[in-house]
Amino acid sequence: MAQTYDVIVVGSGPGGYPAAIRASQLGLKVAIVEKESLGGICLNWGCIPTKALLKSAQVFEYIKHAKDYGINVGENSADFGAVIQRSRGVANGMSKGVAFLMKKNKIDVIMGYGKVIPGKKVEVTDADGKKTEYAASKGVIIATGGRARELPNIKIDGTKIIEYRKAMSLEKQPESMLVIGSGAIGVEFAFVYASMGTKVTIVEFLPTMVPVEDEDVSKELTKQYKKMGIDIYTNSSVEKVDTSGKLCKVSVKTPDGPKTFEAEVVLSAAGVVANLENIGLEEMKIATERGKITVNEWYETNVPGYYAIGDCTPGPALAHVATAEGIICAEKIAGHKTEALDYNNIPGCTYCQPEIASVGLTEKRAREEGYDIKVGKFPFMASGKASAAGAKEGFVKVIFDAKYGEWLGAHMIGANVTEMIAEVVVARKLETTSHEILRSIHPHPTMSEAVKGATEAAYGEAIDL
């Protein structure tokens, strides 16, 4: 007879492992199935190793500009191999941390390839090809995540045309790189490589860089990236990459006509696709739509007892979204009181320099939705802390509903703004109005004063502008 658990989770990313822990906290017997490394893309090949690379790039930027702070630094250079090694070390450490958490929460880790089968069961194929069935009395949670999207005309070959995994484990720093796509992944890698001396070109299909962000943020990032020497082509598409020579010859359709670029490496950063293949969905008739598993607000699929969360379901492909979904799903399975996720209050962060953080409606979207709005902007140029830190680029922009003062959106670009956005998320959750922000003291001197400053500006009460 198959070994039985209350819950079996397939996939141990930031969706799967928190779901397993929450289910265990609620008294359920839990197993988690993982085919590769505990922690999923986020810990092993996504959020964390990229942030380690970005930190190295930031340190190098500081050293290059040390003179601006009155510090003399001798000859210096980036040791690309050591930078990559540090990032891999950070990722491995985090993955071990998940192993510890599984043990601490008495969750059985089953290494192997999981496939959902009838009867709330999971069939696991281990490294030797041996198949074992496990049963779940309460539910199976599918949390198989995603992988890099491959554009139809640009085949990823892993050497000259690469995706994010290879971009964070290259053996040698390329002299030139063409990045396809200016979403978070594309612009983060562009910053890492450009700051270490690679000549970077970004090609974006849509009219603006970081296209999901407020247009003012896109403009500011474009300005800062151009200052760094990054070439940017928006409204442009990569038509073909010829990899037959030493350098890739990249044919790009631009608004000014076709152009050809040469680059040692092409990084395809055109989004992610869900891992849906060979996990039993067709056999089980679990419904999918546009490449994602269809779920309701409690992450139930159309087949009772089977749930899905994270990047393999619709919604923003972000680690904190996967985690929130996993926790709600586990609570629902355990019969614990829970609350559906508000997809209108999800922060998005991009860790390039300057950093980007946003939540809620962009100005354009708020106007399209018919809101009468009050918009305020506080440039970091006017911030004492930013001046002292030598980080005067960027701003905080806030958008309030003129009638009730509801906080519709906030858009930030500048140093450390990814650490500032949670204030807005909490305030919006508590239905805080502009009036309360104006009356909440923000410590001086901090970058976060800019949030209050922007709110003052929205109401014509700016002190420092």
Ligand X SMILES: Cc1cc2nc3c(=O)[nH]c(=O)nc-3n(C[C@H](O)[C@H](O)[C@H](O)COP(=O)(O)OP(=O)(O)OC[C@H]3O[C@@H](n4cnc5c(N)ncnc54)[C@H](O)[C@@H]3O)c2cc1C
Shortest reach from residue 77's CB to ligand X, in Å: 25
Q: Does the annotation list 16 as a binding residue?
A: no
Shortest reach from residue 136's CB to ligand X, in Å: 14
Alpha helices in 335-442 (DSSP H): 363-368, 384-389, 421-429, 434-438
Shortest reach from residue 21's CB to ligand X, in Å: 13
When the beta carbons of 41 and 450 are compared against ligand X, the nearer one is: 41
Q: Are 114 and 308 in contact (CB under 8 A)?
A: no
Q: Does the annotation list 184 as a binding residue?
A: yes
Active site residue 444: yes
Interface positions with ligand X (CB under 6 A):
10-16, 33-36, 40-42, 46-47, 50, 113-114, 143-146, 164, 185, 275, 279, 310-311, 317-320, 322, 351
Q: Does the annotation list 181 as a binding residue?
A: yes
Q: Are 401 and 371 in contact (CB under 8 A)?
A: yes
Contacts (Cβ under 8 Å, ≥6 apart) of 201: 176, 177, 178, 179, 230, 231, 232, 233, 261, 263
Q: Does the annotation list 311 as a binding residue?
A: yes
When the beta carbons of 34 and 363 are compared against ligand X, the nearer one is: 34
Catalytic residue, candidates 336, 435, 442, 444: 444
Q: Cα angle vertex 209, ends 46, 361, to 5°?
A: 85
When the beta carbons of 40 and 409 are compared against ligand X, the nearer one is: 40
Q: Does the annotation list 242 as a binding residue?
A: no
Q: E strands, 126-247, where?
A: 131-142, 146-148, 161-162, 176-180, 199-203, 231-233, 237-242
What is the C-alpha to C-alpha distance for residues 141 and 306, in angstroms, rounded to an integer? Answer: 6
What is the C-alpha to C-alpha distance for residues 266 and 279, in angstroms, rounded to an integer? Answer: 31
Q: Does the annotation list 136 as a binding residue?
A: no
When the beta carbons of 250 and 324 are compared against ligand X, the nearer one is: 324
Task: Quote the radius of gyration of the chain (alpha carbons, Å).
Answer: 24
Task: Fill in the DSSP letter of residue 70.
Answer: T
When the beta carbons of 119 and 335 are compared against ligand X, the nearer one is: 119
Whole-angstrom CA distances from 249 to 12, 238, 256, 427 are 39, 11, 18, 49
Whole-angstrom CA distances from 437 to 101, 406, 450, 455 are 38, 11, 11, 7
When the beta carbons of 85 and 260 are compared against ligand X, the nearer one is: 85
Shortest reach from residue 404's CB to ligand X, in Å: 31
- CA torsion sign for 203, 85, 352, 317 is positive
The total of other beta-carbon atoms located within 10 Å of residue 101's CB is: 17
Shortest reach from residue 274's CB to ligand X, in Å: 9
Q: Does the annotation list 146 as a binding residue?
A: no
The total of other beta-carbon atoms located within 10 Å of residue 176's CB is: 17
Q: Does the annotation list 114 as a binding residue?
A: yes
Instruction: Verify cis geometry, omega within 30 degrees of 0, for the bond prior to 443.
Output: no
Q: Which helix (H) or strand (E) holds 215?
A: helix 215-227
- Of 142, 144, 139, whose CA–CA distance to 28 is shortest? 139
Q: Does the annotation list 158 as a binding residue?
A: no
Shortest reach from residue 115's CB to ligand X, in Å: 6
Contacts (Cβ under 8 Å, ≥6 apart) of 68: 390
Shortest reach from residue 91's CB to ligand X, in Å: 11
When the beta carbons of 15 and 379 are compared against ligand X, the nearer one is: 15
- Binding-site residue set for NAD(+): 181-188, 204, 271
- Binding-site residue set: 51, 114, 181-188, 204, 271, 311
Task: Name the residues annotated as catalytic.
Answer: 444
- Binding-site residue set for FAD: 51, 114, 311
